[in-house]
């Protein structure tokens, strides 16, 4: 049982704020991903939790007990680094047993724990090997074993698979997810790979420029991004300039017109419209655009379209429709988000491009 | 037949390469071979091609009390100076490698200063200081003067080695519960061992080979082997010098053989980085 909470954490590197006013709660047994581009402060945050970087302000608590003043060796956290994890002069057994020896456990107990943990990470035969005799994936498994053998309250993973090839990376993250579920350990996982975050996280905390943008489940983050950064960073997104018309009840983006449900924006406001590629749908009454390129991605098509007023847009569609390069097609925006400063308004619905002005419904 | 020219040229190339190799080997090993021949020569006069074998000069050299005293002195002072140097310099090297402090670069470069200028001036001023401190003609004085020669190696090579060790390895040890000291002795130091052994080797040779300073500080009762060498070469027949040279080379040879498994490619050069 371990809850982790970060309270208003601040970290400055020189005059540059690496992390600013970060408050985040990680629930017991949850796998929380810290996601963001490089330099967003995610690794700094993880290092503050592990005790390798001291925050300039704020508090870190595990089960409501502050650990912020403890050195790393006295924190109930265990970290798996990106690389250079294992001590090259020790065998796998000694790497895993080191922390247990520091704790002065009896030899037989150490042996038993090492054996069990190696079996847990699927490397029962590697006990006597040296790190350089293992593959990259095996080394990271041993690193996970070394962290887990101490039965920490919080497991910290700092892009642990980014040095592995793509296939192995996918395999390893599934394994780690299953392992994490099995032992139910509270985990903080740092990654810059949104696909990795979306597949393994219970919740994702998106950071940018040291500031927490949004914390949500993967599906909520995808469907309801609360900032333009999150909208653009998670998944694929088309961003279009748009402006409001008709007393703020309608949005015009290129030749598309979309209804604004509650009239929350005033007339003549410039907004950025975010449209998922799958929300562009073929509709006989939609706006006409030209297909520039069709890419067959196996189970779906990616269609790049040129719109005279909004530039290139990306559309995902199943293979049912007939799409040919150079052909004109009529498209409708099924759903979109309008970003105006801090305001987000969901727009879309039945309004057609051909409708010149919002006609009152009968 | 086509391709024949290739074999002709290839053969020529190989012959040239072999010739160059032999010339280089003769250039490097020739003097050593002569030295060994002289060391076991009873007499070696024209027109005989090889000397007449004899160990009489060995008996003579090892029977000389000045010589045995100098050998004892050398084999005592050089290891003490090397170990003292290691104890002083390895923590300093770790600080140079891991901490950023004002003047770090300047301090690191200052260790070059003892080797950058003719040392005789330095030794004279050290000698004046030693007079005041009653260190002239003492064992401690000789060890200190040898220590000066080891500093460069014992600081620079371990600094480079420590820098090459990724911090994650140390942080991982802290993470599983080891304090800073345990982390240093059980993680950092063993990983740095090859570099440190190279530093020890160089430092030992620097201390063992030191003659100028020891001559000034150690006369007349604290003479080491290299100091005595001057006297021997000037006032005894040639084989005595040769015997003595072989004796002087023995410790390095033994050290090299013992350390060779650590002396993999790259380690010897790896240390030199600021």
pLDDT digits (tens, 9 = 90+) for B179-215: 999 999 999 999 888 889 889 988 998 899 888 888 8
Strands B52-53 and B41-43, bridge-based pairing: antiparallel
Its sign, for the CA torsion B220, B226, B228, B234, is negative
State the pTM of this model: 0.80
C-alpha closest to that of B79 among B207, B187, B174: B207
CA distance B191 to chain A (A): 6
A39-43, A139-143, A305-309, B106-110: which has the minimum mean pLDDT?
Answer: A305-309
Query: Cα(A140)–Cα(A172) distance, rounded to whole angstroms?
Result: 9
The ipTM value here is: 0.81
Q: Which residue has the higher pLDDT, B252 or B2?
A: B252
d(CA B115, CA B121): 12
CA-based nearest residue in chain B for residue A88: B191
Instruction: Report the distance separating Cα A202 and Cα A187, nearest Å.
Output: 10
Distance from CA of B193 to the nearest CA of A (A): 10
Which residues lie across from A112 on neighbouring strands? none
**Which chain B residue has the Cα nearest residue A47?**
B171
The enclosing H or E element of B255 equals: helix B238-259
pLDDT of residue A214: 92
Q: Which of B116, B138, B114 lies closest to B127 in space, CA to CA?
A: B138
Reduce the DSSP state of residue A12 to 3 states and report it. Answer: strand
Check residue A325 and give its pLDDT: 83
Find the closest chain B residue to A144 by CA distance: B172
Q: How near does any CA of chain B get to the CA of A98, in Å?
A: 8
Model confidence at B273, pLDDT cuts 50, 70, 90, reads very low
- Checking if the pLDDT of A355 tops 70, the result is no
Return residues 22-41 of B near A (CB < 8 Å): none
Question: Does residue B47 have a cis peptide bond before it, meaning omega lies within 30 degrees of 0?
Answer: yes
Q: With an 8 Å Cβ cutoff, is B172 touching chain A?
A: yes
The string of pLDDT tens digits covering residues A29-74 is 999 999 999 889 999 999 999 999 999 999 999 999 999 999 999 9
**How far, in Å, CA of B209 to CA of B245, rounded?**
11
**Which residues from chain A sit within 8 angstroms of residue B186, using beta carbons?**
98
H runs (alpha helix) in chain A:
42-50, 92-102, 107-120, 136-148, 166-183, 194-200, 218-223, 228-233
> Encoding tokens for residue B17?
């390469």
Interface test with A, best of B98, B177, B188, B195 (most A CBs within 10 A): B177
pLDDT reported for residue B5: 63
Contact A72 B171 (CB under 8 A): yes
Adjacency order of strands within the sheet including A154-158? A77-80, A154-158, A186-191, A31-35, A203-208, A211-216
Q: Which of A246-260, B2-16, B98-112 has the highest mean pLDDT?
A: B98-112
Compute the distance between CA of residue B274 and CA of residue B267 in angstroms, rounded to an integer. 15
Pairwise CB contact (< 8 Å): A150 & B177: yes
Confidence tier at B48 by pLDDT (50, 70, 90) = confident
Decide if pLDDT at A200 tops 60.
yes
Query: Minimum mean pLDDT among A88-102, A104-118, B113-127: which range?
Result: B113-127
**For residue B3, what pLDDT band results from cuts at 50, 70 and 90?**
low
pLDDT for B228 equals 87
Count Cβ–Cβ pairs < 8 Å, chain A vs chain B.
65
């Amino acid at each position: 049982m371990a809850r982790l909470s970060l309270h208003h954490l601040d970290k400055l590197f020189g005059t540059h704020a690496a992390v600013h006013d970060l408050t985040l709660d990680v629930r017991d047994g949850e796998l929380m991903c810290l996601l963001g581009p490089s330099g967003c402060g995610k690794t700094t945050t993880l290092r503050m939790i592990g005790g390798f970087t001291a925050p300039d302000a704020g508090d870190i608590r595990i089960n409501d007990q502050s650990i912020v003043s403890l050195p790393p060796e006295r924190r109930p956290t265990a970290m798996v680094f990106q690389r250079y994890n294992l001590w090259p002069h020790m065998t796998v057994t000694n790497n895993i047993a080191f922390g247990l020896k520091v704790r002065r456990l009896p030899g037989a107990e150490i042996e038993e724990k090492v054996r069990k943990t190696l079996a847990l990470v699927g490397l029962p035969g590697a006990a006597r090997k040296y790190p350089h005799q293992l593959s990259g994936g095996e080394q990271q498994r041993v690193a996970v074993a070394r962290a887990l053998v101490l039965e920490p309250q919080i497991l910290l993973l700092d892009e642990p698979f980014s040095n592995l090839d793509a296939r192995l990376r996918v395999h390893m993250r599934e394994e780690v997810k299953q392992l994490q579920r099995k032992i139910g350990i509270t985990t903080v996982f740092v990654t810059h790979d949104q696909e990795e975050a979306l597949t393994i996280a219970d919740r994702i905390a998106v950071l940018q420029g040291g500031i927490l943008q949004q914390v949500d489940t993967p599906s909520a983050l995808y469907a309801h991004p609360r900032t333009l950064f999150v909208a653009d960073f998670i998944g694929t997104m088309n961003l279009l300039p748009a402006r409001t018309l008709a007393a703020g009840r309608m949005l015009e983006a290129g030749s598309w017109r979309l209804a604004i449900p509650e009239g929350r924006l005033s007339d003549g406001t410039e907004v950025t419209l975010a449209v998922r590629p799958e929300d562009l749908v073929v509709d006989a009454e939609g706006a006409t655009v030209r297909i520039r390129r069709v890419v067959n991605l196996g189970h779906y098509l990616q269609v790049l379209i040129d719109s005279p007023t909004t530039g290139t847009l990306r559309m995902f569609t199943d293979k049912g429709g007939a799409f040919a390069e150079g052909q004109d097609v009529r498209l409708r925006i099924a759903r979109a988000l309008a970003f105006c400063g801090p305001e987000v308004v969901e727009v879309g619905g039945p309004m057609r491009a051909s409708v010149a002005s919002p006609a009152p419904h009968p | 037949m086509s391709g024949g020219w290739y074999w002709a040229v290839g053969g020529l190339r190989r012959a040239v390469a072999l010739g160059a190799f032999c010339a280089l080997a003769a250039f490097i090993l020739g003097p050593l071979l002569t030295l060994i021949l002289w060391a076991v020569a009873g007499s070696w006069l024209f027109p005989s091609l090889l000397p007449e074998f004899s160990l009489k000069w060995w008996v003579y050299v090892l029977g000389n009390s000045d010589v045995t005293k100098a050998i004892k002195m050398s084999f005592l002072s050089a290891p003490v100076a090397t170990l003292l140097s290691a104890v002083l310099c390895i923590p300093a090297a770790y600080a140079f490698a891991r901490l950023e402090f004002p003047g770090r670069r300047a301090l690191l470069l200052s260790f070059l200063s003892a080797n950058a200028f003719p040392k005789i001036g330095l030794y004279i001023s050290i000698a004046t200081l030693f007079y005041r401190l009653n260190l002239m003609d003492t064992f401690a004085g000789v060890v200190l003067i040898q220590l000066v020669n080891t500093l460069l190696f014992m600081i620079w090579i371990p600094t480079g080695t420590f820098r090459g060790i990724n911090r994650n390895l140390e942080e991982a040890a802290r993470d599983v519960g080891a304090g800073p000291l345990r982390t240093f002795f059980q993680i950092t130091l063993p990983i740095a061992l090859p570099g440190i052994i190279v530093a020890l080797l160089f430092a030992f040779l620097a201390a063992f080979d030191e003659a100028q300073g020891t001559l000034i500080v150690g006369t007349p009762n604290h003479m080491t082997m290299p100091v005595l060498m001057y006297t021997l070469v000037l006032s005894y027949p040639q084989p005595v010098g040769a015997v003595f040279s072989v004796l002087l080379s023995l410790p390095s040879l033994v050290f090299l053989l013992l350390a060779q498994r650590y002396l993999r490619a790259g380690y010897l050069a790896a240390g030199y980085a600021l």
